Amino acid sequence: MSNLSMQGKICLVTGASSGIGKATALGLASMGATVIMVCRDAARGEAALSEIKQKSGNNSIDLLVADLSSQKEIHRLSDGYRIKYQHLHVLINNAGVYYTKRHVTVDGLEAMFAVNYLARFLLTNLLLDIIKSSAPARIINVAGAYHAKGKINFDDLQGEKDFDGQRANHQSKLADVLFTYELARRLEGTGVTVNCLHPGMVATNLIDKDKDFPVFFKYLYKLSKPLMRSPAKGAQTSIYLALSPEVEGTSGQYFVSKKTAESSPESHDTQLALRLWEISEKITSLQR
């Protein structure tokens, strides 16, 4: 992919201050793209932006600060983007969180469901018209293999009755895949493709950020990090889906290591996807 160019393409990457998101932003910037980094923390975002400019030699990098756990912030992000840019060729929904104990957002939602899934649903829909007008365009959702363990518990979506961190994370990943497939069906014929991916087991700081994660398991995680993929390797499939001509026109697929893979049977349930979409519209007060 090193010979491919992203000159003239505008790409937005969420969760771009560290880990896979930062590596993705750097990869796209190195290929000449205009990259808009969405970061929650301004200072960390500025530091990452400076580093990416220096390493890529590309000054067409911008930072938009937004806390994706807040629907108000997501609306502000969308409005801020529209003020600055008229096109969006690639949207990479990468930002994610993991918590052992239940955290509630400012909107009263369980945090993993809100950030790992609903933020993507809302931001993508808010920017969908500008993405369509930029076609050919691509939407990429960073999901994960753990979606296969997920169940959408409509009776307790927010984990108020019975919360388990792993179960909530698996649910959010399944929601991402269901969302990808449903959106792909809705975007047929528009010139906009949407795919999702599993980045592999990547050494990131998600566990380190969870203050409630047991110290012993944090220690085991630290020991296992050398055996995991680097963020740069974890970003390879996202970058591939963003620019490779091999996947031009490919939509509604799940990728692992730059190749299509089979997702769980439940992820292909169209009625489940439609029900989730309709509930998500209500939760986000999305006006169609």
Domain boundaries, the chain: 10-284
Output the CA torsion sign for 114, 118, 122, 124: positive
CA 231 – CA 125 distance, rounded (Å): 28
pLDDT at residue 218, rounded to an integer: 43
pLDDT at residue 231, rounded to an integer: 76
How many residues are there in the chain? 288
CA 55 – CA 22 distance, rounded (Å): 12
Residue 52 phi/psi, 5-degree rounding, is -65, -40
Cβ atoms < 10 Å from Cβ of 113: 22
Contact 165/113 with Cβ under 8 angstroms? Answer: no
Indicate the fold that domain 10-284 takes in CATH. Rossmann fold (3.40.50)
Q: Which of 138, 152, 283 is nearest to 197 (CA)?
A: 138
pLDDT at residue 179, rounded to an integer: 98
pLDDT at residue 216, rounded to an integer: 42
pLDDT at residue 219, rounded to an integer: 45
Q: With a cut of 50, which residues of the chain have pLDDT below it?
A: 1, 203, 207, 216-219, 221, 223, 225
pLDDT at residue 106, rounded to an integer: 98
pLDDT at residue 201, rounded to an integer: 62
pLDDT at residue 225, rounded to an integer: 45
Contact 112/256 with Cβ under 8 angstroms? Answer: no
SS3 string, the chain, reads CCCCCCCCCEEEEECCCCHHHHHHHHHHHHCCCEEEEEECCHHHHHHHHHHHHHHHCCCCEEEEECCCCCHHHHHHHHHHHHHHCCCCCEEEECCCCCCCCCCECCCCCEHHHHHHHHHHHHHHHHHHHHHHCCCCEEEEEECCHHHHHCCCCCCCCCCCCCCCHHHHHHHHHHHHHHHHHHHHHHCCCCCEEEEEEECCCECCCHHHHCCCCCHHHHHHHHHHHHHCECHHHHCHHHHHHHHCHHHCCCCCCEEECCEEECCCHHHHCHHHHHHHHHHHHHHHCCCC
Output the CA torsion sign for 193, 198, 202, 208: positive
Cβ atoms < 10 Å from Cβ of 15: 26
